Amino acid sequence: MSLLALPLLLTGCTSAGSPTAEPSPNAAALSHVHGISVDPESSRILLATHDGLYDATEDPAVKISDSTIDLMGFTATAEPNVFYASGHPGPGSSLPNPVGLIRSDDAGKTWEPVSRAGESDFHALTVSGHTIVAFDGQLRTSTDGTNWSTSPATFTPAVLAGSPASTVLLATTENGVQRSTDSGTTWQAVPQSPIIQFAAIAASTHKAPTKAIGVEPNGTVHVSPDAGATWATAGTVEGRVQAITAVEGDTGELTIWVATATGVQVSTDDGVTFRPAAS
C-alpha cells in the first residue's frame, strides 16, 4: 500500500497569462502528495502530503493531522487506523528534524516518534509481512520499528511497495523492478520489467495479495498478475503522477487510485481508463 517516490523523470512548466486567484491551502497541499492509502473495506482515500494527512474521499479534502508534518514516507499497517510515516516537522510541531520513524494509532490525527529521530528521513517506506522496510540513503529493515538492520542491496529505490499480508516486496529503480520474496532480506532483478517509477501491491480483504500495479514517469500503467514477477501494459493516466495504490476485490477485479498534481484518479477496469475519484 503504500507508495512514495523520489523523482526519476519529472518535469514541470508554467505559462504566462492573466492573474489567477491564490490556491486554497488544501489545494496547495494536495498538489504535493507523497503517498496514498485506500482502506479496502471502506474505500476511504488518505493522502500523505507536504502539509500532513488528508482524507480525500470526497471533494473538498479534509485535513486529518492535528499538526503539520511533511509526510515524505507513509504506509498503512495490518492494524486498522495504524500508520507509519517519516519526513520533516512543520510549524508548531515538537518533533525533531528529520522525524525518523513515527507512528499514528488514531488514523493519522496524532503522531508519536518510534525510532531514528533526528537521523532518518525515509522517502520510501512500506510494511512487508511483519517487517518495516525503509530507505534513507540505505535500505533498512525492522521487525519492531526500533531495531534496524541494514540491507546489502546497492540499488536506490524510488518506491518500496509491500503488503502486511505478504512477504513479497517490490522496489522501483532506474534499471527496472527489484523483487524480494522475504520482506527485503534478499532481492532479485525482475527480467524484462518495465521502468516504472511508482508501484503498489494490491490490498485484498479475502486472500494474500497477488496483483501489483506500476506506473512509468510518462503515465503508462502496467499490471502484474503475479505480484511483480511479470508485467503487462494497460492504459495511461494523465497528469503528473505522485503516488499510487490499489485494491483487489472479492472476485479479482482491480481498482487503482492514482494521486496526481491535480487530484486523485481512479480506474475500475484494471488500469485501462481513469476518471476523477472524488464525488
Q: Note the pLDDT of residue 29.
A: 67
Cα–Cα separations (whole angstroms), residue 3 to 21, 94, 190: 32, 26, 19
- Chain mean pLDDT for the chain: 90
Number of domains within the chain: 1
In a domain, 13, yes or no: no
Cell triple for 276? 476523477
Cβ contacts of 215 within 8 Å, gap of 6 or more: 196, 197, 198, 199, 221, 222, 237, 241, 244, 258
Q: If you average pLDDT over residues 223-246, what whole number do you get?
A: 97
Work out whether the CA dihedral 87, 134, 30, 61 comes out positive or negative: negative
**What are the pLDDT digits (tens) for 181-222?**
999 999 999 999 999 999 999 998 777 889 999 999 999 999
**Considering the domain boundaries, does residue 204 fall inside one?**
yes
Query: What tens digit of pLDDT does each residue of 116-175 get?
Result: 999 999 999 999 999 999 999 999 999 999 999 999 999 999 999 999 999 999 999 999
For residue 97, is it within any domain?
yes
Contact 246, 37 (CB under 8 A): no
Task: Assess contact for 259 and 243: CB atoms under 8 A.
Answer: yes
Structural domain includes residue 15 = no
Query: 126 is in which domain, residue-wise?
Result: 25-276
Give me 222's grid cell.
502496467
Does the pLDDT value for residue 11 go beyond 50? no
CATH code, 137: 2.130.10.10
| Cβ 179 vs Cβ 168: under 8 Å | yes
